[in-house]
Amino acid sequence: MQDNQELSWCTLFAPLKANRVFLYWFIPLVFVCTFVLTYSVPAYYVCYTSLSTEEISAISESRSITLNHPANYDLGLAPLRYSIAPDDYDELVASTAFLCKVLAAKVKTKDNSFEGTYYEYLIKHHRNTWAASCKQWIQGSNIAQAEDELPELDPFQPKQHAAIAISRAKKSISCSINHKTKLVTITVKEQDPMVAALVAQATSDELNRFTTDYYTDKVKQTYQLLQTQIELMRAQYEEAARAGDNARATMLHDACISFERQAIMQNALAHNYKMFTTLQNVTVPTQKAGPKHLVTAIAVTLVALVLALLVIYRKELISIS
């Protein structure tokens, strides 16, 4: 019985002994190559900021209580709930025109080795992965070093370096929306923690500015429409009063007063009311978010070992099946 057991163990380890030289070289080589390749990938930091969308309709409804009067008249204008649909904020942040505004923001690294615009940082100070460096070398694209050599950020027709910066910014900046609570979360992944925090703040500020201006412009258009209607009502009222048509004059007078009240309300809303409230302020991240070089190298080595064993024992596995 003992001889049979020893014979089975010898039979089991026989393929390993026959391929021990291959395993001695293959496994360490896979580990070293994987570690070197992953180590060449720059580490990055992640910064978050959360924004809550203000409900403009609630303010409009609370102010319109004073307008509930039998003599009120409405132009049939659509209520202004948000500047744009909150579900579209992720598309807005990923748009080229929006990113050009963010790329113009001033940033600096934590060690003060760079200070300038985010555009200049992505082109001159941003470390590439080995794959991206090989791709640029194959394509023959040379990154400009002088500041005056960088082309202007044109959202309609970005040139070479501007297109590279916009592409990198799209990969670094993302925006997600909770469809139930309408909570907007801006996430920035960058190689420097200070740059990640400053870009997250610049993205938050630009999103707030864009939505606020959009809503304010809509309110101003409504105000101008009401003003035009008020002037028309006044002219018609004076004409009816001169003609002695008291019933029509009374109706026009009430309509004019109603439009004036609505104009006052719209004018009150047109003073750059901010669309967002910041729930989670931007903070400089202290820990790296990735990549984990050693963990990745060990995982890839284990997978390579399993594959190597499958190749070595392929004949035994085929005979068993």
pLDDT tens-digit series, residues 45-95 = 999 999 987 654 444 444 443 444 444 555 555 555 555 667 788 888 999
Examine the domain organization and report whether 188 and 253 are in the same domain.
yes
Number of structural domains the chain divides into = 2
SS3 (DSSP) at 156: coil
pLDDT > 70 in the chain, percent: 74
Examine the domain organization and report whether 203 and 223 are in the same domain.
yes
Query: Is residue 263 one of the residues assigned to a domain?
Result: yes
Query: Is residue 140 one of the residues assigned to a domain?
Result: no
Q: Read off the tokens for 245.
A: 């048509």
* pLDDT score of 251: 85
Examine the domain organization and report whether 112 and 188 are in the same domain.
yes
Examine the domain organization and report whether 98 and 217 are in the same domain.
yes
Q: What is the pTM for the complete model shown? A: 0.69
CA dist., res. 276 & res. 185, Å (int): 12
Examine the domain organization and report whether 9 and 107 are in the same domain.
no
Q: Which stretch, 26-40, 94-108, 240-254, 259-273, has highest mean pLDDT? A: 94-108
Query: Is residue 55 one of the residues assigned to a domain?
Result: yes
Examine the domain organization and report whether 266 and 197 are in the same domain.
yes
Mean pLDDT confidence for 294-316: 78
Query: Is residue 213 one of the residues assigned to a domain?
Result: yes
CB atoms within 10 A of CB 233: 21
Query: 260: buried, middle or exposed (CB in 10 Å: 19+, 13-18, 0-12)?
Result: middle
Examine the domain organization and report whether 99 and 222 are in the same domain.
yes
CA dist., res. 97 & res. 158, Å (int): 10
Query: Is residue 149 one of the residues assigned to a domain?
Result: no
Strand order in the sheet with 276-280: 173-177, 183-190, 45-53, 276-280
Q: For residue 9, what are the domain limits?
A: 2-40+295-320
Maximum C-alpha span of the chain:
127
Examine the domain organization and report whether 105 and 196 are in the same domain.
yes
The CA-atom distances, in angstroms, between 99 and each of 59, 162, 163, 200, 202 are 31, 11, 11, 12, 10
Examine the domain organization and report whether 83 and 193 are in the same domain.
yes
* pLDDT score of 28: 83
Q: Read off the tokens for 23.
A: 């395993």
Examine the domain organization and report whether 86 and 199 are in the same domain.
yes
Return the higher-pLDDT residue of 182 and 102. Answer: 102
Please report, for the domain that includes residue 179, its CATH number: 3.30.1890
